[in-house]
Chain A
Amino acid sequence: MEYRGKAWRFGSNIDTDAIIPAIYLHTSDPQILGKHCMEGIDPGFPKKITAGDIIVADENFGCGSSREHAPVAIKAAGISCVVAKGFSRIFFRNSINIGFPIFESEEAPGKIANGDELIVDSDKGVIINVTRKEEYKSIVYPDFIKSIIVKGGLLNSIK
């Protein structure tokens, strides 16, 4: 699979309260959650992005609570994937389980600036920075995890 879009840069330890503040936990409607995506750190974020754009962050993205509302909000806002140096483990599971692709890359985040045009090739495990004409390595997931994403999430894959 290929994901293409503009990079939106965030730092380290972006926690789930920043991704979707607790005041919106009363709902599980993706449409509503998507409208408040990243509100704890960048209010108005969903209005600025174009469908397909990519969030790029440093360490420990998605730390904090187990709320699945976080990847749901990011996906519903139109973000195609997240690239980070590392993810918190529950956020990682939740994303895979809802069929939302996220990629670990030690190298890429440090070299990507806000607004860079990116192509993430999940099969090859590469991230192409179209703006800077650079290429970075990213993780290639084991087939088990790939198949969950391809089937659109864990529940579809175990049915």
Chain B
Amino acid sequence: MGMTITEKILARHAGKKEVLPGEIINARVDLVFANDNTGDLAVDQFKKAGFDKVFDKNRVIFVADHFIPPKDVSCAEQSRRVRVFCREMGLSNFLEVGRVGIEHVLLPELGMIKPGDVIVGADSHTCSAGALGAFASGVGSTDMAAAMAKGELWFKVPETIKFVYKGTPGRWISGKDLILYTLGQIGVQGATYKAMEFSGEAVEALTLDERFTMANMAIEAGGKNGIFHVDQKTIEFLKPRVKTDYEIVSSDPDANYAEVHEYDVTDISYQVALPPSPGNVKSLSDIGNIQIDQVVIGCCTNGRLEDMRVAAKIMRGKETNFHIRTIIIPGSQEIYLQALQEGLIETFIRAKAAVSLPTCGPCAGLHMGILGEGEKALATTNRNFVGRMGHKTSEVYLASPAVAAATAIKGYISTPEEVM
């Protein structure tokens, strides 16, 4: 019987001809990474277990993105311990402020992700890399330590759910709306333990940046990974970045799927996930007037160049609402520079938005934009659990960069049409 792209990639890395969903395998990993937060714990476990070298110096990477520049002494210490470890191990891959970006934005940019790879990262949004046709899955620090030491890891082969998107959505409707819509349909456990395979003419029409957004939020449905097939756009993206060979893997026509969902996205409108769950999704037109205190445009979900461009297009020549704090966070140094050269940063600053250096920032309530009691944020991030961005009574609404930019101007959750 045929296999899905996910099954094929896992089979190849386990040295098998075929794998079946549910089977537990040991698979070779092509890249192992962690951030400044999870890295510390992984390093600790690695040392405690008595390992003294990593399996491959070029395939282990630490990205300092969560609390950079360190916001306090204990964060500085976490980073320092990882930095010291990398020096001890002879790793040149501890990337810090000034050379960095949010891990899931940065690694594809650096050409570290190839189609057909198996990638594990000690961060739940590792699934973002599936946009390039890789099997990428978030793991914990112990997994990270084991993978760092051995270059392989155990996996339970997931069943796959196929999502087929048809039609042509409206002008400002983006990949973010598509994935929020999907979460609204299947819920936050809709894909638990499963692979989410995104396909159909509407996703083929998406930019790579939008595909990253969709793959990024696979975990919000409980997915093990999110994955796209490689097409011409993927190849264009990879060309300047990946210098080594890679193999393009795709699902067989007779592959077996646990479920198939088909959505016609021609008429979907702007999607908003209301607190306190990314699955609590409504059309913007159905949520009424919601006043906002802070807008955040950034995060590994929507901190890419395309997101900056969309936001700038909507904000150009306008001013953000006086009662709103607008924080814009380019996802990497490369994006920051490109945004600067295209004049996007100037647009934001003239609009009285604050532009931050690349970091996770307030996304997980860590720093640079924490919410106070009862405050509401509209963010392009991926999670809106209770207290995610600050005080436990604060609230986070999730939406696309276009909606975020319009909201920054209006002061309440609005559509781009209201300001354009």
Contact = CB atoms under 8 A, between A and B. Distances in A.
Interface of A: 13, 15, 17-18, 21-23, 25-28, 40, 59-60, 63-69, 86, 88-90, 92-94, 97-98, 142, 144-145, 153-156, 158-159
B49 A159 contact: yes
Given A68-B141, A142-B24, A154-B146, A63 B188 contact: yes
Given A22-B365, A27-B74, A66 B145 contact: no
Interface residues of B, number: 47
B30 interface: no
A67 B38 contact: yes
A14 to B, nearest CB: 10
6 contacts: A26-B72, A65-B364, A66-B123, A86-B192, A97-B146, A144-B24
Given A66-B140, A68-B140, A159-B50, A17 B146 contact: no
Contact of B145 (A18, A26, A60, A155): A155
A23 B126 CA distance: 22
A26 B140 contact: no
A22 B154 CA distance: 28
A26 B74 contact: yes
Contacts of A98: 140, 142
Contact of B383 (A25, A40, A64, A69): A64
Nearest to B49: A155
A66 B124 contact: yes
Given A17-B388, A60-B192, A26 B75 contact: yes
A59 B40 CA distance: 30
Contacts, number: 114
Given A17-B385, A60-B188, A142-B24, A89 B123 contact: no
Contacts of A40: 386-387, 392
A93 B143 contact: yes
Contacts of B222: 60, 63, 88-89
B296 to A, nearest CB: 16
B93 interface: no
Nearest to B66: A25
A92 B154 CA distance: 13
B331 interface: no
Contact of A97 (B48, B143, B188, B392): B143
Contacts of B193: 89, 92
